Structure 1
Amino acid sequence: MYDQVGRNKRRSWLLVGTFFVFTALCCVAIAYGFGLGSPGIGIAVAVAGVSAGMSWWKSDAIALRVSRAEPADPVVYARYHNLVEGLCIASGLPKPRLYVVHDEAPNAFATGRNPQNAAIAVTSGLLEKLDRVELEGVLAHELAHVRNYDIAVQTLSVVMLGTLVLLGDLALRFAWFSPNRRDSRDAGPGPQAILALFGLVVIIVGPLIAQLFHFALSRRRETLADFSAVEMTRYPPGLISALEKLRADTTVVRSGSRATAHMWIEQPIDEHRETSKLSWLNKAFNTHPPLEERIAALREL
């Protein structure tokens, strides 16, 4: 367990460093396309530093906003708050901020950069469809992500993907609207052409790389969180029953997207619900192990 926490901390800082480098390269390319020279490079490095810092400090807020999560009122959602408080006392974790996503599909995710700045969001469908023991198992699974520092890695990856795609789009726009674009037509391929090509590569290849990255990080992490949840609750049937209900439910999360799919307890993309219908390529890009495999692993405990 401690090895997993250490790896996740190192991965988080590696993500921040990688994000800084790629953001700096994107900004340098944009500055080069506008012919700004050395001052432009300095500005690019400054922008990259600010972006990397914001991605670290505000990553949880961005993920919650993307998912349209709202704070969970402690009176209206008393059972939700009570279960989390009990699990936190038992596991020695600080209580995270609690949110609700108003969606009929049963699902949940955790976000944040560390246990002291964590948040858990559950859908209204999850609160309605699971009984107390099942809900406790799901919440323990999310708290396991918090304890294992999975949340920092998965939340940062969401922000990185969105920012890189945005920078790629800006590079394309700057290449098209550059004041030197008219002159570059007569002079042949120049900075604007390079900038446009760079933007296209980021927009097309960025999501593909991000999806492979999510796949590499997510599958083993979900299984470990399942085992950690059982360690917290000491009652495997609770989480098993919850996962069986999630598998049987065909409602799709309206707030789900490919950028945040790896954060949820069950992948919220409709095409991945029935693993028997998946091609080998779809399975390769699935961010979660099939629910059948997770249930079978828990039954062996």
Structure 2
Amino acid sequence: MLYQQIARNKRKTILVMFGFFLLVALIGAAIGYLFARSAVAGIIIAGVLAVIYMSVMIGQSTDVVMNMNNAREIHSASEAPELWHVVEDMAMVAQVPMPRVFIIDDPSPNAFATGNDPQHAAVAATTGLLQMMNREELEGVMGHEMSHVRNYDIRLQTIALALSAAISVLVNFAGNFWWFGGRGNDRDDNSAGGIFAVFGSILLIILAPLAATIAQMALSRNREYLADAGSVELTRNPHGMIAALEKLKGAQPMKAADPNSSALYISDPERNAKYRRFAHLFDTHPPLDDRIKRLEEM
């Protein structure tokens, strides 16, 4: 099952890349039509920008994501003994190389893994997580993150994060250019078709970030369930993972979490994780109560 999951994630990586590139192309076409009446030129510019941004982002994904979340790297067990040894143990059990280890100075308990593959992976934990969790709960959390590494979820997450950020750059550019004089071309075509095209382009630019977010949500939800189960497989201790999730239910939002990285975390860093009816429909994470229930039923 493990190798099937890895193969499935590799196939999903290709589909995610195609979907995001299509969205980037559509945004480029909209921008090109609005400001230069040339959709092809917009597609070319957006494509070049996305490729450059992705190359930088994916090539340096660990450092970029860690900098975005104000994480500092530790280089030996002497700096954070319990975290270091737990990560080391979980990596050994998962049969993946020891990842780089980072700490985020934030009182809210949370953690995530990132990287392009298991050979270039990294995990981060907040100071709040280290203070709140006991040994078996910390093992549950790090087992969850090692499952993401082992299953190649981190590659999928990195690509989605990179392309989502590229889309945000394009949309912000369009918005700024629009307000600082880019509307001058509106007079070039006052026909019904031209007005409809302009309206459609504006609508696409407005909805693009939402579409990118929905894509990230679709990728994130099922992976969290699988990583929870993977943690139990690695630790042989369902109580540790369940207890950790119970504590995360009372967590307050992080102070300076990067919004583009929200899907990477074990629990949504931007809001309290308590269950609220229907409020979870557009979250990047499944409700913690549902995750706990699934583990209890295993």
What range describes the TM-score normalised by the shorter chain of this pair? 0.7 to 0.9
Superposition deviation, residue 52 in structure 1: 3.5
Equivalent in 113, 116, 129 of residue 113 of structure 1: 116
**Partner of residue 11, structure 1:** 12
What SS class does the counterpart of residue 125 from structure 2 fall into? strand
Cα-to-partner distance string for 1:17-61 (whole Å, 9 max, x where unaligned): 333343344445545534679777655543343234334323333
**Partner of residue 172, structure 1:** 175
Give the alignment of 1:65-76 within 5 angstroms.
Answer: 65-74=67-76, 75-76=78-79
> What is the TM-score of this pair, normalised by structure 1?
0.84
| 1:15 counterpart letter in structure 2 | V
For 1:98 and 1:192, how far apart are their aligned partners in 2? 53
For 2:107 and 2:41, how far apart are their aligned partners in 1? 52
Q: Between 253-262 and 161-170, report the one with greater CA deviation.
A: 253-262
| 2:151 counterpart letter in structure 1 | N
Q: Aligned pair in 2 of structure 1 residues 31, 297: CA closer, same or farther (>3 Å)?
A: closer
For 2:4 and 2:104, how far apart are their aligned partners in 1? 33
Say if 2:29 and 2:38, in contact at 8 Å, map to a contact too: no
Q: Aligned pair in 2 of structure 1 residues 15, 81: CA closer, same or farther (>3 Å)?
A: same
Percent of paired sites with the same residue:
36
> What is the TM-score of this pair, normalised by structure 2?
0.85
Say if 1:34 and 1:178, in contact at 8 Å, map to a contact too: no
| 1:232 counterpart letter in structure 2 | L
For 2:100 and 2:111, how far apart are their aligned partners in 1? 13
What SS class does the counterpart of residue 259 from structure 1 fall into? helix
Q: Aligned pair in 2 of structure 1 residues 290, 279: CA closer, same or farther (>3 Å)?
A: closer
**Partner of residue 226, structure 2:** 224
Say if 2:10 and 2:152, in contact at 8 Å, map to a contact too: yes
What SS class does the counterpart of residue 47 from structure 1 fall into? helix
Say if 1:84 and 1:139, in contact at 8 Å, map to a contact too: yes
Superposition deviation, residue 99 in structure 1: 0.8
Equivalent in 293, 296, 300 of residue 293 of structure 2: 296
Cα-to-partner distance string for 1:67-113 (whole Å, 9 max, x where unaligned): 21111242211221111112222221011111111000111011112
Q: Aligned pair in 2 of structure 1 residues 199, 122: CA closer, same or farther (>3 Å)?
A: farther
Give the alignment of 1:1-301 within 5 angstroms.
Answer: 1-31=2-32, 33-34=35-36, 43-74=45-76, 75-177=78-180, 182=184, 184-185=186-187, 188=190, 198=201, 201-202=204-205, 204-247=206-249, 249-270=250-271, 273-275=273-275, 278-280=276-278, 282-301=279-298
For 1:64 and 1:233, how far apart are their aligned partners in 2? 26
Q: Matched residue pairs, number?
A: 294
Say if 2:220 and 2:285, in contact at 8 Å, map to a contact too: yes
Q: Aligned pair in 2 of structure 1 residues 173, 246: CA closer, same or farther (>3 Å)?
A: closer
Say if 2:253 and 2:271, in contact at 8 Å, map to a contact too: yes
Say if 2:221 and 2:284, in contact at 8 Å, map to a contact too: yes
What SS class does the counterpart of residue 260 from structure 2 fall into? coil
Superposition deviation, residue 150 in structure 1: 1.2
Say if 2:153 and 2:223, in contact at 8 Å, map to a contact too: yes
Superposition deviation, residue 290 in structure 1: 2.1
**Unaligned runs of at least 5 residues, structure 2:** none
Say if 2:30 and 2:202, in contact at 8 Å, map to a contact too: no
For 1:295 and 1:40, how far apart are their aligned partners in 2? 47
Q: Aligned pair in 2 of structure 1 residues 13, 61: CA closer, same or farther (>3 Å)?
A: farther
Superposition deviation, residue 274 in structure 1: 2.4
For 1:256 and 1:199, how far apart are their aligned partners in 2? 30
Say if 1:140 and 1:233, in contact at 8 Å, map to a contact too: yes
For 1:72 and 1:209, how far apart are their aligned partners in 2? 36
Say if 2:16 and 2:160, in contact at 8 Å, map to a contact too: yes
